[in-house]
Amino acid sequence: MDDDRNTLPVVGLTLGDPAGVGPEIVARTLVDPGLRGDVRCVAVGDAAALRRGAGVCGLGLTVRVIDSREVSPDPDPTVVDILDTATVTDEEITEAMPWGRVGVAAGAAALAAIELAVRAAESGLVDAIATAPINKESIWAAGAGQLGHTELLGELTGAAHPDTMFVVGGLKIFFTTRHVSLRKALDLLTAERVDAAIEAAYRALRVFGDDEAPVLAVAAVNPHGGEGGAFGDEETAVLGPAVERARARGLDVVGPIPADAVFHQGLRGRYAGVLSHFHDQGHIAAKTFDFDGTVSVTVGLPILRTSVDHGTAFDIAGTGAAEYASMREAVRTAVRYVPVRARVRAAWAHAPGGL
């Protein structure tokens, strides 16, 4: 490991749920030779969980506990660093956090890693965080009152409206609604909510892009964009008027554009971003194009956070079979956006708005 690694951006990789695949994908990412010249990766979570994850992957790693950015990287590539939450020992972990099982201890460990990572980002110990997946049942069992990762990060940073932005193939995808049923998502497509979603998405495009006037496309929800109301009136009653109001405010927004075309057009470079309106509308488009290359970036936070876009995979946890490409891409995306950290802080230091 070269001395110039002291000047590389530092990304903290949370282990996620220790009973899931998080420790495995983090262990593999920490030793990925393709990342070593661009970033210094530091794990965040239980050292015991990282050792166990590395073990099932057949990686002979030495886990070194650090507490300062001033600690130089070890020249031995098999020595990996961790900010240790120390919620469990090597002797306890097998019984306390069995692979592939929902549990209070695993949920508490996941929560501790998230909190430590946030504080590390706020203090400058790391430049960004890339998070491995957590299990909602486990964190709820451990006492978390938030729906999931994004909401937890909002509470920890004081951000009122953290939102999700997918980055895939050069396109950014946003969501008017996320974790609600499709029926409820349609009910939530109100003028107020869509106006706020357009504003939040456009702001994110400016913060994370280089174009002062990016083009945001608003997706339709009905077949063929509703065919003038014949197939539904969301486009004529809500989405179209919202686009016109945004354009009157000086935003370069177009649409609503039929969803079977808008993502393809965006991926070909016609738009900087697409506002989708329900969870699967944006997820299916992104993951079909590039499942492992789809990275989630949380916007609306005063810190930089990226994430894998898959779950804990309890069915294969502990087998060493988990693919880590998504975590590697999350790290690369974090590195890509480290230069705009000042814009991120300036835009969302007080989280004035969102979806």
Q: Are residues 24 and 150 in the same domain?
A: yes
Q: What is the DSSP string of 221-246?
A: SSGGGGGGGTT-SHIIIIIHHHHHHH
DSSP 87: S
Tokens for 208, please give them: 């994370």
Q: Tens place of pLDDT for every residue, the chain, 355 residues?
A: 344 556 899 999 999 999 999 999 999 999 999 998 899 999 999 999 999 999 999 999 999 999 888 888 888 889 999 999 999 999 999 999 999 999 999 999 999 999 999 999 999 999 999 999 999 999 999 998 877 788 889 899 988 889 999 999 889 999 999 878 888 989 999 999 999 999 999 999 999 987 888 999 999 998 887 678 777 788 888 999 999 999 999 999 998 999 999 999 999 999 999 999 999 999 999 999 988 889 999 999 999 999 987 889 999 999 999 999 999 999 999 999 999 999 999 988 854 444 3
Q: Could you tell me the CATH number of the domain that includes residue 335?
A: 3.40.718.10
* CB 327, CB 308: distance < 8 Å: yes
Q: How many CB atoms lie within 10 A of CB 222?
A: 20
Does residue 355 lie within any of the structural domains? no
Q: Which residues make beta-bridge pairs with 42?
A: 12
Task: Give the predicted TM-score (pTM) of the model.
Answer: 0.88
d(CA 144, CA 138): 9
Distances (CA, A) of 271 to 121, 239, 255: 31, 17, 11
- Spatial CA neighbour of 21 closest among 88, 145, 90, 110: 110
* CB 181, CB 144: distance < 8 Å: no
Longest dimension (CA), the chain: 66
Q: Are residues 125 and 235 in the same domain?
A: no
Q: Are residues 107 and 151 in the same domain?
A: yes
d(CA 39, CA 334): 10
d(CA 183, CA 170): 30
Cα four-point dihedral sign 42, 115, 311, 268 = negative
DSSP 350: S
Question: What is the tally of structural domains in the chain?
Answer: 2
Range of the domain at 338: 1-159+301-350
Residue at which a domain ends, from 258, 280, 299: 299
Q: Are residues 176 and 70 in the same domain?
A: no
Q: Are residues 170 and 268 in the same domain?
A: yes
d(CA 299, CA 201): 9
Q: Are residues 5 and 100 in the same domain?
A: yes
Q: Are residues 126 and 176 in the same domain?
A: no
Does residue 105 lie within any of the structural domains? yes
